[in-house]
Amino acid sequence: MDLISSFAHHFGKQPTLLSRAPGRVNLLGEHVDYNDGLVLPVAIDRTVRLAAAPSGDEIVSLFAIDFGEQVSFKLSELDAKVDLQGQPLPGWALYPAGVAWALNADGLSVSGMQAAYTSDVPVGAGLSSSAAVDVVFSITWQAIGAWEADRMRLARLCQLGDNQYVGIACGLMDQFASAHGQEGHALYFDTRSLDWEAIPLPSDVSIVIADSGIRRALVDSEYNERRASCEKAVELLRQYKADIQSLRDISPQEFAAYCEFLPPVIRQRAEHVVKEIARVQSAVVALRLNEKKSFGALMYSGHASLRDLYQVSTPELDALVEIARGLSGCYGARLTGAGFGGCTVNLVDESHAPKFMRDIEDAYLRQVGQLAQVYLCRASAGACLEWLS
C-alpha cells in the first residue's frame, strides 16, 4: 500500500499535501557541529515521506506506518508530553511533537493535522532519520500555516526541539543538511556563522554506505558525555586563551601547546575536535582540486580519530573500514554519524562501485558473521512539498 493509500485507509479521507525530507551522510566533520565547527554533509536519496491534511482543531493525529503505531495529542498540552489518554508519548512521536513545541515557542502558528509517514532512512544507523522527520514536519506545518520562514530558521527550530524537548544534545548539521541539500553537491557548512556553500562532488565518484547492523539509542548513549567533555575542555583552556568560546577557537598548533594541561580523557576528546575541523578545511581544498586520494586519506584519518580519541567506533565499524581499505577503487572510508554503531561512508570510483558493494558485503559476513546492508547513495536535493488539492 502506498503512502496516499495508507493515509486514506487510516483516516478515511484523502491527504491534501505530500512532503519529503532526506537523510544525510557526513563525509567529514564528525562531532564538531556542537563545537561551532565546520562540517561537510551530503543529503542522500533516502527520505522520510509524509502525507497530511489539516484537522480543523488542535488535535495532531500521527500514524507511523513503519511501526504500525498511531498516537494523537493536543497542541495545548505539548509541555506534558502526553497523548489524549494522558499516557506518555512514545519515543517516535516526541520528534514531531518537539517540532510543534519549538515552532510555537518561536511564535509560528501550528495547527492540528492528520499525518501518515514512512521512511527508507534506516533508523539508528547514523543517517539522521530523526532529523529528516523533524524537517518534514516543519515544512508541513509551514505549508498548512502559510507563514514565512527560511530553511535555516526551520533547521534551527528543529534542533531546538531535539535539544530541549526530546533531550538530545545534537548540533545543527543534520537538520541543516536535510533542509538545504543540493543534488550532486556536498554542503560546506560553518555551524558558527551559519554560512554555507554547495561544493560539487566529482562526477566519477560514488558514495557507498555500509550498514554494520549495530544499532544505538542516541539519547541513552554516551553522546551527551562527549559534548560535556568538550565544554569542560573549553573551560579549562580559558586559563591559557581567555577569549575561547568553543573548541573552534583553538588551532592545532595552539592545542599542541596547551593540551598537556588537560585531563587525559578530556584531552583526547578535544584533540579529535580540533584536528577534525582542520581536516574538513583540508578536504574542501582537495574537493576543489579534484584530489580524490587526498580526500580519502582524510576520511581514513578521521575514522582513526573517532576510534582512538573520541572512542565512538565499534569493532564492526572498524572492520568495515579496514575491509574497504583493501578493496580496489576505494578512496576513503569512515564511520558516519554519532557512532556507537550505524554505518560507514565510502568514497569509491564509480566504475568499481558495483564490485566494491558485493565484496564488502561478502567480506563483512565472513569476518563478522553478520550481514551488512550496502547501498549506493546520490547527493540529493533537500526537503520539498507538493499540494494535492
CATH architecture designation of domain 3-200+381-387: 2-Layer Sandwich (3.30)
- Full-model pTM: 0.93
What CATH number belongs to 205-377?
Answer: 3.30.70.890
Q: What pLDDT is attached to residue 152?
A: 97
- The pLDDT of residue 219: 43
Q: What is the pLDDT of residue 127?
A: 72
Binned at pLDDT 50, 70 and 90, residue 26 comes out as very high
pLDDT of residue 121: 84
Give tens-digit pLDDT for 46-58: 999 999 999 999 9
186 Cβ neighbours under 8 A, 6+ residues apart: 27, 40, 41, 42, 198, 199, 201, 287, 379
pLDDT at residue 122 tops 80: no
- What average pLDDT does this structure show over 59-74? 96
For 182-237, how does the pLDDT look when each residue is reduced to its tens digit (9 = 90+)? Answer: 999 999 999 999 999 999 999 999 999 999 998 765 545 577 789 899 999 999 99
Q: How confident is the prediction for the chain on average, in pLDDT?
A: 94
Residues 371, 309, 234, 244, CA torsion sign = negative
pLDDT of 125 reads 66
**pLDDT tens digits, residue range 278-313?**
999 999 999 999 999 999 999 999 999 999 999 999
The percentage of residues in the chain with a pLDDT greater than 70, rounded to a whole number, is: 97
- End-to-end CA, the chain: 21
* Residue 169, pLDDT score: 76
Name the percent of the chain in helix, strand, coil, to the closest 5.
45, 25, 30
Domain boundaries, the chain: 3-200+381-387, 205-377
Q: Decide which of 338 and 308 is more confident.
A: 308
DSSP 8-state class, residue 199:
E
By annotation, the residues acting in catalysis are: 174
The predicted model gives 173-179 an average pLDDT of: 95
DSSP H helices in 309-370: 315-325, 353-368
User: What integer pLDDT is reported at residue 217 of this predicted model?
Assistant: 53
pLDDT of res. 367:
96
Place of cell 518537539: 98
Which helix (H) or strand (E) covers residue 62, if one does? strand 59-64
Residue 13, judged by CB atoms within 10 A of its CB (0-12, 13-18, 19+), counts as exposed
pLDDT, position 3: 95
Specify the pLDDT at position 320.
Answer: 98
Please provide the size of the chain in residues.
389
